[in-house]
Amino acid sequence: MKDYSINSPTAYSVARSRALSDIPLSKEIADWAMEHVVVRKDNLEAFLPRRVLNVEARYKLIDKVISNQNPTQILELASGLLPRGYLMATKGVTFVETDLPEMMEVKKRMLNELLLKSPPTLFLEKANALNLKELEGACKHFSSKESLIITNEGLLRYLNFEEKTIVAQNVHTLLEKFGGVWITSDITLAKRFTPERLNKIKNNIGMDITPNLFRDLKHAKKFFSDLGFTLKLHPFKEIYSELVSHKGKEIPKKELKYALAWYVAEMRVKK
């Protein structure tokens, strides 16, 4: 069986990038991970401004699209060290985070050691996004009378197209039951990755993700449409005015364009 835990180092690296933004709890989470979990200590000064800006935009745009839905219950796939669940649950949203067992244990330990008392509507469940039964078990906390938002960021690029199909089918099954929307930033296009970036990812997790990337937007749209979804794409530039990690830094226009040339997809089951 494929070991999906090898992708976990990316969760820590992305957490460090978020620490350079104003996303609540991001610095606390990154500092805790550096002290208690991460073996390799990344130098924050070495983090490319475009990458940090991209991570900040991804998180904030997903939040914006979610908030536009007036959410009451959210399922997050592969939640890693994201603070979204805790922050939204403190506002009364029923929020279920799911991830692989090892990462979920890390998340529970982190909340406990940061003295972040879990809100009564936050639930941490061990569930693989590829396993429908595990996801259905995690959904026990939701009301079938209310629509569901399913979200994830940075998951699908680590899955091949057969695995992407399984995840999409699982999401489709859940949305058929609850109604609602799938909000994801994982429209990852091949042209957005430089050879250097792909090589760095390969060195970090021992996997070449090149075959997992969509060729272009047409390819991505057809993939999800064939699996029964309608798509509405939100470009990262929608959230540009709310980004702070680039303030005080000179980012070349080419780098800035790269950081924002991505999308968050809002997907619904075809009627």
User: Helix H segments across 81-216?
Assistant: 84-89, 101-113, 132-138, 161-178, 195-205
- 196 Cβ neighbours under 8 A, 6+ residues apart: none
What would the pLDDT profile of 120-173 be if each residue is shown by its tens digit?
A: 999 999 999 999 999 999 999 999 999 999 999 999 999 999 999 999 999 999
CATH label of the domain that carries residue 175: 3.40.50.150
pLDDT higher than threshold 90 for residue 43: no
Q: Does residue 38 surpass a pLDDT of 80?
A: no
**Which 8-state DSSP code applies to residue 189?**
B
Instruction: Give the pLDDT of residue 192.
Output: 84
pLDDT of residue 8: 56
Name beta bridge partners: 189.
214
Q: How confident is the model at residue 4 (pLDDT cuts 50, 70, 90)?
A: very low
pLDDT tier, 195 (very low <50, low <70, confident <90, very high otherwise): confident
Higher pLDDT, 63 or 13: 63
pLDDT digits 0-9 by tens, 72-109: 999 999 999 999 999 999 999 999 999 999 999 999 99
Exposed / middle / buried, residue 88 (Cβ in 10 Å: 0-12, 13-18, 19+): buried
Q: At what angle do helices 101-113 and 8-18 cross, to 10 degrees?
A: 30
pTM over 0.75: yes
Q: Which helix (H) or strand (E) covers residue 263, if one does?
A: strand 263-269
Q: What is the mean pLDDT of residues 252-259?
A: 87
What's residue 40's pLDDT?
52
Residue 47: which domain range?
A: 4-269
**15 membership: H or E segment, kind and range:** helix 8-18
Give mean pLDDT, residues 14-41. Answer: 85
Domain count, the chain: 1
Return mean pLDDT, the chain.
90
Of all residues in the chain, what percent carry a pLDDT higher than 70?
A: 93
Confidence of residue 113 (pLDDT cuts 50, 70, 90): very high
Categorize the per-residue pLDDT at 1 as very low, low, confident or very high, splitting at 50, 70 and 90: very low
